[in-house]
Structure 1
Amino acid sequence: MSQFQSLEHALKRFFGYDSFRPGQRQIIQQALSNRDLLVVMPTGGGKSLCFQLPALLKPGLTVVVSPLIALMQDQVESLQDNGIGATFLNSSLSLAQVRSREQDILNCRVKLLYVAPERLLSEKFLPFLDLVQHKIGISAIAIDEAHCVSEWGHDFRPEYRQLQLLRYRYPNVPFLALTATATERVRQDIIQQLVLRQPNIHIASFNRPNLYYEVQPKLKTAYSQLLQQVRAAKGSGIVYCLSRKRVDEIAFRLQQDGIKALPYHAGLSDEDRTSNQRRFIRDDVQVMVATIAFGMGINKPDVRFVIHYDLPRNLESYYQEAGRAGRDGEPASCTIFFSYGDIKTIEYIIDQKSDPQEQRIARQQLRQVIDYTEGTDCRRTIQLSYFGERFEGNCANCDNCRFPKPLEDWTIESQKFLSCVARCKERFGMNYIIDVLRGSKNQKIQQNGHHELSTYGIGTDKSVDDWKMLARSLLHQGLVDQTSDGYSVLKLNALSWEVLRRQREVKIAVPTVAVIEESPQRVAEVEMLYERLRQLRKQLADEQSVAPYVVFSDSTLKLMARSQPQTSTEFSRLSGVGEYKLAQYGERFVSEIQAYCKEQGITPQTPVATATTPSKNQPSYTQLKTLDLYMQGLSVAEIAQQRDLRTGTIVDHLAELIALNQPIDINSMVSPERQLEILKAIEVTATESLTKIREFLGESYSFDEIRLVRGMWKRRNKSF
């Protein structure tokens, strides 16, 4: 390295970067001293540089073991774009191309060779590798995606286990094992299987603060959910599905809806997969719909969203697949659509495994995914605890932290649970402990004599789901441990004993009965109809060569989608529909709405009130004006300013509109928890007086909040 003033100088020359990312410099220094290394660094953390830069600074050839053709092609192209001598050998090449590249290696024109493990260990290739070692030297063997060596990893590949043969064939060549995801058990397995010699182990933080994590219930109208999210997204995205059939279906439907999308799965030809990947990387298309075969090591830093349309099989693969979003450090979102139906699909896949131990491991991993999706704790806390990293507090960048459930003190329940674990000698899993607590007549409990324990039956005051929620939270918070051998046995730790000795409180996030104005299915139906009406509006606008908003505003379309008028009379009552537009467009829009309702088997909603003939059960003209501005997305203050009215007057309008069952989202203005408290206060005080209700609640509640919730109470009780 004498030709370089420093590692930073080499970094700038070869890769154009001015400084290293956290941990890279130390790893590179140790690689240059020919040490065995195990590097666990999240996607986007810069793992590749940890072996690429040393390869350029040391004499000889660095051999990189890579599991996928797409992965090695991508990395080699990136290196060649930087003027670096790199190549790959795989099945996509002709015999003449292989011979030419081998000659380049022997003539010292290549510093990094990417090769799959199957080729690397073949009888034909090993003699060539011996020749390389003799003529120019092998400077290092880097094993990328090293978790593939472990049966405890999420992508076990038996051929990776044979790589230890290289250790015995080239005993003086240093090994570098690199992966983005590895639990403690997987890390130990990597060291053992690759025969790493006193390796330096580098474990970077698994936290990706720029990623927003969320779980959405997967509705019957799941495709509509997906389409809405893709349309709202800015930038490229990946949609993961469990099956090739689902991939093809989703890709086709997105294409039909005007989204530039392509499929990627093992059923496609190598040529098609390579072409589709290249088009995605080069931004020729926005969305790649794929099975898990896509993405490993793909260097596309500006992926803005990753959606798991189907439930992932385990947390490690989910972390890695979701981690392909936001590798540039910019904000990105990671969404799981969760359906219990997907669990059955994965269980079927697990049942096809021939090895009973593999089945047990896969089932335990599936339970951990379910715990994650159903968890009420911070998503980061759950993810990072899986990898043995503690994260405490509010991450402010997941659905559970942005929309938190209220915390409740469950210390006593935790003591009961942990005490039961202890009295059962730490030999059983979550479900068994819950059965004991709830006094189950399970035959196994009787045989073990656990029906005689002091903790037997002391938990009948809580449901099975309550106890499962607590157990998950204890695991996520590190207050109890769980074995990872496929059996999920609960084990007490030091923090468990602190809880049992009353030295530590336990608070968990408990879902409340939220005040939901509409069911998710109803919301999805409205959104689907809204999209169809937008397409009709665009068609009519194009026919007249005018902008779509000239036909109808978005707010009027939303009113159509919600109220679903079935006649011209009902249509005329919508805010934004005058006589001219009724005559011009009414029949087309009503026909579209009728057709949609018939297709979906929807019973039309109660007609909305007229804007011209208000009555006791209909909004007034001034309220409808406020509603129109609200539907355009204006805030209370903005509506007041535009209408030259007090904000209190606008709140009054919104409260009355809520009472009249108009489309006002009260949850965006008053949290569900505060709604419940205000509703209780109205019931207890038996009055509609704002002053008396506020006196009961206290000054932490505003009159505006009470007005809005009172409107909801009026609607429910028909007191208007």
Structure 2
Amino acid sequence: MERDPETLLHSVFGFEQFRPLQKQVVDHVMDGGDALVLMPTGGGKSLCYQIPAMARGGTGIVVSPLIALMDDQVAALVQSGVRAACLHSGLAAGEARAIEQELLTGELDLLYVAPERLLTPRMQELLQRAEPALFAIDEAHCVSQWGHDFRPEYLQLAVLGRQWPHVPRLALTATADPRTREEILERLEMPAAERFISSFDRPNIRYRVTEKKNARQQLKAFLENEQRGNAGIVYCLSRKKVDDTAEWLQGQGWEALPYHAGLSAEQRRRHQDRFLSGDAVIMVATIAFGMGIDKPDVRFVAHLDLPRSLEAYYQETGRAGRDGLPADAWLVYGLQDVILLRQMIESSGADAERRRVERQKLEDMLGFCELANCRRQALLAHFGETDHPPCGNCDTCQEPPETWDATDAARKALSCVWRTGQRFGVTHLVNVLQGADQERIRQLGHDRLSTWGIGEDMDTAQWRGVFRQLVAHGLLTVDPDGYGALRLTEQCRPVLRGETRLTLRLDRKPRKAGRRQRQPGEGLQDAASHELFEALRACRRRLAEEQGIPPYMVFHDSTLMEMVAARPETREALAAVNGVGEHKLERYGDEFLEAIREVITS
């Protein structure tokens, strides 16, 4: 028997009404339609299948790529009183059989399974005997062979439409450019699916990119000046850098944990659990960490190395600020990052077309880093949103970069690359331009070139910035087989011939300390409100520790802040706060009302 979606939204999840696109998706699925749902992280796409699964008869089957993600989602649903479970290899045989029986007897609203398990003959036979309410394919971008999270098992999920043609299917993701969207629908054989595409904008995230000078000291300044007491993620390109950075941060007094594929499964799980349950834990990780992380109060994502693509950057930075509160995406990068990534692309063993696509993705990422206009505009345009106004919440909006006519400097740099044979990296080229008196330069005869010493008027940092931006603008490319040697491209000809002018960013001087620090509960206006917020956090932490769950599964920070604003004194008033459903009101209401009373009456 069907139940009313709006009633479930309020009674189970504690929200008064759907967001506009959520309502459209839910209505479409309730009518039996297939859907492609693109919503940014934190945009509420899970409710698009959770509510219909509960409202329709039968059990909603959710395809999810990671065991840890399934466990966390099920635990959060159970906290809200939803009959949810997951089947995966981490369960004992008896546990799995009990869940299978609940599926067959219709006792589950939602069942999460990995694609590999879903496709087994046993699971297919169970589903034939059960009553699927819908199939939700989460992280659907994993179907794209051009994506950074490609999972070959996802390619076989088209079988769901063939086996259960009358059961609605949803493909959901937060990351898909127009090409990937069409690939998802094609490979899942969902040609008639309605497309529900929300804005990719995450207005609460502040985007910042700066040139890499001393990455550790830059990170230290960012953390100390802005992120004391906050949870965050620091991404590095290599396992060794992850380990070294985590150890260094620990030595600086931060609770930092490493995460990468070289650690044991038990250690990765232990570190992830600590990150999810802690208020001020920093996870230092490779891209092996993060897909589907539900922790809502990640206040920053920092990149110490250049991401491979704008899709990867968007997805990784999207793990910050899922609760809608202010968050930071902070990135430092330099030319050495480009050299390393180009070498990795060319040595990957991929075919020529794949390498071409990866090179283009890297060039798009470089272009984003060297922007002089709004970063959010460029990021959203990459995903097809071309009419977004300047955001006012990125570094280029808040502190517009200075630019300069770099035509003459660029011609000198390009000429130096050509006259030295396109066989040398930036350090040697800068030495030649500055007229360095070095034995190696004399041995090579580069002190007799017309470009020797013609750049004495600029310092080393300025010249390195010019070369970095020439690569980003596509006028130079990195030879992956030449230890970072720079080579000219066809695009540089108009500049060399004097047919066009070139404007570049003027690299900023390092920022002095003192920028406003972002704290949990930011936005609270007075000391009494901060005191109440901290009392509610302490109450939440205690209740979470008693159950062995992360604090956010009790209530999000945003819900606590609404409690601070409303100061409810009765259960009825507390029930009106967003995020307080009937199950949580019954389970936790008295505890939080008492915490509020203690602060107000003290």
SS in 2 for 1:396: coil
Equivalent position of 1:81 in the other structure: 79
**Is the 2:405–2:503 Cα contact (8 Å) retained in structure 1?**
no
**Is the 2:232–2:300 Cα contact (8 Å) retained in structure 1?**
yes
Equivalent residues in 2 for 1:137-148 (5 A)? 137-148=131-142
SS in 1 for 2:268: helix
Q: Report how far residue 335 of structure 1 moved.
A: 0.9
1:360 aligns with 2:356: yes
SS in 2 for 1:152: coil
Equivalent position of 1:421 in the other structure: none
**Is the 2:363–2:472 Cα contact (8 Å) retained in structure 1?**
no
Aligned with 1:318 (options 313, 324, 343): 313
The CA distance in 1 between the partners of 2:289 and 2:19, in whole Å, is 26
SS in 2 for 1:124: helix
Aligned with 2:376 (options 364, 375, 380): 380
SS in 2 for 1:259: coil
Equivalent position of 2:400 in the other structure: 404
Aligned with 1:117 (options 115, 118, 126): 115
SS in 2 for 1:212: strand
Q: Aligned pair in 2 of structure 1 residues 513, 296: CA closer, same or farther (>3 Å)?
A: closer
Equivalent position of 1:44 in the other structure: 42
Equivalent residue letter for 2:117: R
SS in 2 for 1:214: strand
Q: Aligned pair in 2 of structure 1 residues 170, 284: CA closer, same or farther (>3 Å)?
A: same
SS in 2 for 1:23: helix
Equivalent residue letter for 1:118: E
Q: Report how far residue 401 of structure 1 moved.
A: 1.1
Equivalent residue letter for 2:251: Q
The CA distance in 1 between the partners of 2:150 and 2:363, in whole Å, is 19
Equivalent position of 1:344 in the other structure: 339
Instruction: Describe the superposition over 1:50-72 as per-residue Cα deviations: whole angstroms up to 9, x where unpaired.
Output: 00010000111111111111211
Instruction: Describe the superposition over 1:474-533 as per-residue Cα deviations: whole angstroms up to 9, x where unpaired.
Output: xxxxxxxxxxxxxx999xxxxxxxxxxxxxxxx99853587x5xxx5xx89x99xxxxxx
Aligned with 2:187 (options 193, 197, 200): 193
Equivalent residue letter for 2:325: E
Aligned with 2:243 (options 248, 252, 257): 248
Equivalent position of 1:239 in the other structure: 234
Task: Give TM-score, length-normalised by structure 2.
Answer: 0.67
Instruction: Describe the superposition over 1:130-186 as per-residue Cα deviations: whole angstroms up to 9, x where unpaired.
Output: 222xxxx11111000101111233322211111112221222221100000111111
Q: Aligned pair in 2 of structure 1 residues 184, 262: CA closer, same or farther (>3 Å)?
A: same
Q: Report how far residue 392 of structure 1 moved.
A: 4.6
**Is the 1:279–1:285 Cα contact (8 Å) retained in structure 2?**
no
Instruction: Describe the superposition over 1:585-640 as per-residue Cα deviations: whole angstroms up to 9, x where unpaired.
Output: xxxxxxxxxxxxxxxxxxxxxxxxxxxxxxxxxxxxxxxxxxxxxxxxxxxxxxxx
Q: Report how far residue 368 of structure 1 moved.
A: 1.0
Deviating more after overlay: 237-246 vs 120-129: 120-129
Q: Aligned pair in 2 of structure 1 residues 147, 489: CA closer, same or farther (>3 Å)?
A: farther
The CA distance in 1 between the partners of 2:471 and 2:370, in whole Å, is 10
The CA distance in 2 between the partners of 1:394 and 1:119, in whole Å, is 46
Q: Report how far residue 272 of structure 1 moved.
A: 2.2
**Is the 1:36–1:197 Cα contact (8 Å) retained in structure 2?**
no
Equivalent position of 1:158 in the other structure: 152
SS in 2 for 1:163: helix
The CA distance in 1 between the partners of 2:240 and 2:83, in whole Å, is 40
Equivalent position of 2:221 in the other structure: 228
Q: Report how far residue 188 of structure 1 moved.
A: 0.6
Q: Report how far residue 275 of structure 1 moved.
A: 2.2
Equivalent residue letter for 2:377: T
**Is the 1:262–1:285 Cα contact (8 Å) retained in structure 2?**
no
1:210 aligns with 2:204: yes
Q: Aligned pair in 2 of structure 1 residues 129, 374: CA closer, same or farther (>3 Å)?
A: same
1:98 aligns with 2:93: no
Equivalent residue letter for 2:266: E
1:327 aligns with 2:325: no
Question: Which consecutive unaligned segments of at least 5 residues does structure 2 have?
Answer: 408-413, 423-465, 476-488, 492-500, 515-602
The CA distance in 2 between the partners of 1:508 and 1:153, in whole Å, is 33
**Identical-residue share of aligned pairs (%):** 46
Equivalent residues in 2 for 1:527-566 (5 A)? none
Structure of higher CA gyration radius: 1
Equivalent residue letter for 1:331: P
Equivalent residue letter for 1:281: L
**Is the 1:380–1:391 Cα contact (8 Å) retained in structure 2?**
no
**Is the 1:37–1:176 Cα contact (8 Å) retained in structure 2?**
yes
Equivalent residue letter for 1:372: F
SS in 1 for 2:190: coil
Equivalent position of 2:167 in the other structure: 173
Q: Report how far residue 314 of structure 1 moved.
A: 0.8
Q: Report how far residue 364 of structure 1 moved.
A: 1.3
Q: Aligned pair in 2 of structure 1 residues 287, 356: CA closer, same or farther (>3 Å)?
A: same
Equivalent residue letter for 1:25: K
Equivalent position of 2:253 in the other structure: 258
Equivalent residue letter for 2:79: D
Q: Aligned pair in 2 of structure 1 residues 203, 471: CA closer, same or farther (>3 Å)?
A: farther
SS in 2 for 1:288: strand
SS in 1 for 2:95: helix
The CA distance in 1 between the partners of 2:490 and 2:202, in whole Å, is 30
**Is the 2:242–2:258 Cα contact (8 Å) retained in structure 1?**
yes
Deviating more after overlay: 147-156 vs 349-358: 349-358
Equivalent residue letter for 2:187: Q
**Is the 1:404–1:509 Cα contact (8 Å) retained in structure 2?**
no
Q: Aligned pair in 2 of structure 1 residues 15, 340: CA closer, same or farther (>3 Å)?
A: same
The CA distance in 1 between the partners of 2:143 and 2:281, in whole Å, is 33
The CA distance in 2 between the partners of 1:121 and 1:28, in whole Å, is 26
Greater relative contact order, per chain length (Cα 8 Å cut-off, separation 6+): 2
Question: Which consecutive unaligned segments of at least 5 residues does structure 1 have?
Answer: 414-433, 443-462, 473-487, 491-506, 528-720
The CA distance in 1 between the partners of 2:257 and 2:507, in whole Å, is 41
Instruction: Describe the superposition over 1:431-481 as per-residue Cα deviations: whole angstroms up to 9, x where unpaired.
Output: xxx99xx9xxx9xxxxxxxxxxxxxxxxxxxx9999888889xxxxxxxxx
Q: Report how far residue 3 of structure 1 moved.
A: 5.2
**Is the 1:183–1:386 Cα contact (8 Å) retained in structure 2?**
yes
Instruction: Describe the superposition over 1:326-369 as per-residue Cα deviations: whole angstroms up to 9, x where unpaired.
Output: 11111111011102212232223322233332222211111111
The CA distance in 1 between the partners of 2:123 and 2:60, in whole Å, is 15
The CA distance in 2 between the partners of 1:3 and 1:76, in whole Å, is 21
Moved over 6 A (4+): 407-410, 463-472
**Is the 1:407–1:508 Cα contact (8 Å) retained in structure 2?**
no
**Is the 2:207–2:375 Cα contact (8 Å) retained in structure 1?**
yes
Equivalent position of 2:536 in the other structure: none
SS in 1 for 2:148: coil
Q: Report how far residue 227 of structure 1 moved.
A: 2.1
**Is the 2:204–2:325 Cα contact (8 Å) retained in structure 1?**
yes
Equivalent residues in 2 for 1:389-428 (5 A)? 389-405=385-401
**Is the 1:305–1:325 Cα contact (8 Å) retained in structure 2?**
yes
**Is the 1:377–1:508 Cα contact (8 Å) retained in structure 2?**
no
Equivalent position of 1:290 in the other structure: 285
Number of corresponding residues: 436
The CA distance in 2 between the partners of 1:265 and 1:464, in whole Å, is 32
Equivalent position of 1:64 in the other structure: 62
The CA distance in 2 between the partners of 1:334 and 1:65, in whole Å, is 29
**Is the 2:404–2:503 Cα contact (8 Å) retained in structure 1?**
yes
RMSD: 3.2
**Is the 2:41–2:318 Cα contact (8 Å) retained in structure 1?**
yes
**Is the 1:60–1:111 Cα contact (8 Å) retained in structure 2?**
yes
Equivalent residue letter for 1:44: G
Instruction: Describe the superposition over 1:300-322 as per-residue Cα deviations: whole angstroms up to 9, x where unpaired.
Output: 11111100111111111110110
Equivalent position of 1:280 in the other structure: 275
Q: Report how far residue 263 of structure 1 moved.
A: 1.6
Equivalent residues in 2 for 1:495-534 (5 A)? 511-512=505-506, 520=510
